[in-house]
Amino acid sequence: MILQTDFILKAALSIQAAIITHKPDIEVLDQAIGDGDHFINVLRGADAIVSMSDELTGLPADEALNKIAIKLLSTIGGAAGPLFASFFMGMAKNIKQNGGHDTLAIAVAFAAGVQALIKRGKGKVGEKTMLDVLVPVAHTFIFSAIENKTVTAICTDIKTAAEDGLASTRDLIATKGRAAGLGERSIGHLDAGAKSCQVMIQAVCNLVVQPLF
């Protein structure tokens, strides 16, 4: 598996469609304990990436990811813009340095993106955020690739990690963002950011394993 810009653009389309499909789920979660604008911001970001198709086509993957990061900084409102931009910048930097020429290299680049996001947001697992999905997915991606599993098996592992990470947020007390002000009242609700990440990861995995014909 090689990461190419053509795939990035296809993934953006899949993510856009998945976010729209899951609008009711994401909005309900964000209205319960968030700011109520998470869905709008995530969809705005997906729309922005899809709109860059002509600009990105033909570019190396690292250049495309960096341009996406810059676009998201000026497109997504709130705290999400810098966080998602940091993810793409971190991934772009790693791919430029190390390449994205096999599954393990892509997994390492994804993990680098997550680490860049963590550095920007100063967050950690257990705070009822998107990191409760992204961190276990990054670990699972790397370990499954090291074990030389098939792409289909890796995607299955990743989707399970994302689902488990999302489920874990239900019993957590939020300590970041608006939800942090709710204290124990945030218990019993899934995190909207974790949900949107789970939706996006599932969409990309489904794209990877879909039949060619």
pLDDT in tens, 136-178: 999 999 999 999 999 999 999 999 999 999 999 999 988 876 6
pLDDT at position 18, please?
98
Q: What is the 3-state secondary structure (H, E, C) of 93-138?
A: HHHHHHCCCCHHHHHHHHHHHHHHHHHHHCCCCCCCCCHHHHHHHH
Output the CATH code of domain 5-209: 1.25.40.340
The pTM of the whole model exceeds 0.85: yes
Q: How many CA atoms lie within 13 A of 153 on its CB side?
A: 9
Q: State the average pLDDT over residues 88-107.
A: 95
Q: State the average pLDDT over residues 13-31.
A: 94
Domain ranges of the chain: 5-209
Q: State the average pLDDT over residues 35-64.
A: 93
Q: How far apart are CA 73 and CA 4, in angstroms?
A: 22
pLDDT at position 213, please?
40
Q: pLDDT band for position 32 (50/70/90)?
A: confident
Condensed to tens digits (0 to 9), the pLDDT of residues 123-136 reads 999 999 999 999 99
